[in-house]
Structure 1
Amino acid sequence: MSTTTQSTAAQNKETARRFYAELVTGPHPELLEEFVAPDAVDETSTGAGGIEDFRAHLAWIAESAGDVTATVTDAVAEDDRVVVFWRIEGTHTGELFGVPPTGRRFSGHSVSTITFRDGKIVRYAVLPDRLGIVQQLGAPV
């Protein structure tokens, strides 16, 4: 891997860390344009694509999990892709994975893949610990 590629991978990893700190934990959705390309795809969304899908995703998190904190526990980067291991913690304040609000605290681990182009996110996918979170909320599984 060239020095330029290593440098870009390190920058993408730092941007991914900031994404969770500033957009998910923040939350500062007004910063989306700084992080996300206009043609980006949020694979968690059923929308038409673009920044608005990311905005909707962040709104869903904020509505579902009050006082949310997202903590990156590890990140691995190569070329234009970053794999992020992170933990989410919050209070269940809105429907989450089909479970109506309980007011309970929860935490869960997730793994995301983020693809970058020119320093901005162009593809985002996440695999959350849905079962673990739903069990903490007291829902039958």
Structure 2
Amino acid sequence: MGSQESNVERMRFFIEQVQEAGRLQLIDELVHPGFRNRTIGPGQRDGLPGVHDFMTALHEAFSDLRIEILHCVGDGALVATHKMFRGRHTGPWFGAPPSGELIEFRVMDVIRFQDGQLVEHWAVLDPMSPSVDADR
């Protein structure tokens, strides 16, 4: 991405290209080498390696992954997102064995950007539950 994009546009690009489309090769370009995740779970790695781990696990756990951006707002270096993740649970997800069910879960993130890259992260995740749209 060029230097003229806003942090909100950068966040949307990260969600669409890395989180949803699985273009994991973009992580090193979009995430700052000094990245800190302020809400990592037990057994998770912090920093850039942790971003790679999490995104790999996400795409191994959920097939047909779709992410709906419900809200995405920015204030300077900070961008807040509210997203709905939907997909079929076909692989292990942080200790939960694959169920084969269509699931959904909401995530609220706050990201701080520095030099056009994600540098700091806070999140609140809802537990995953079967999707209400079972006809997918």
Per the shorter chain, which TM-score range? 0.7 to 0.9
**What SS does the aligned partner of 1:32 have?**
helix
Corresponding position: 1:72 with 2:69: yes
Q: Which amino acid aligns with 1:118?
A: D
State the aligned residue count: 125
Larger radius of gyration: 1
More helix by share: 1
Q: Which residue pairs with 1:44 in the alignment?
A: 40
Q: Which residue pairs with 1:120 in the alignment?
A: 117
Listed one character per residue, the Cα deviations across residues 17-48 of structure 1 (whole Å, up to 9, x for unaligned) are 1111000111001001221000101333532x
* Structure-2-length-normalised TM-score: 0.83
Report if aligned partners of 1:41, 1:123 keep a CA contact under 8 Å in 2: yes
Q: Which residue pairs with 1:16 in the alignment?
A: 11
**Share of identical aligned residues, percent?**
22
**What SS does the aligned partner of 2:86 have?**
strand
Report if aligned partners of 1:91, 1:105 keep a CA contact under 8 Å in 2: yes
**What SS does the aligned partner of 1:27 have?**
coil
- C-alpha distance in 1, partners of 2:66/2:123? 16
**What SS does the aligned partner of 1:124 have?**
strand
Q: Which amino acid aligns with 1:44?
A: I
What's the Cα RMSD here? 1.9
Runs of at least 5 residues in structure 2 that lack an aligned partner in the other structure: 132-136
Shift of residue 125, structure 1, vs aligned partner: 2.3
- C-alpha distance in 2, partners of 1:28/1:97? 21
Runs of at least 5 residues in structure 1 that lack an aligned partner in the other structure: 1-7
What does 1:71-90 align with in structure 2 at a 5 Å threshold?
71-90=68-87
Q: Which amino acid aligns with 1:22?
A: Q
Report if aligned partners of 1:20, 1:71 keep a CA contact under 8 Å in 2: no
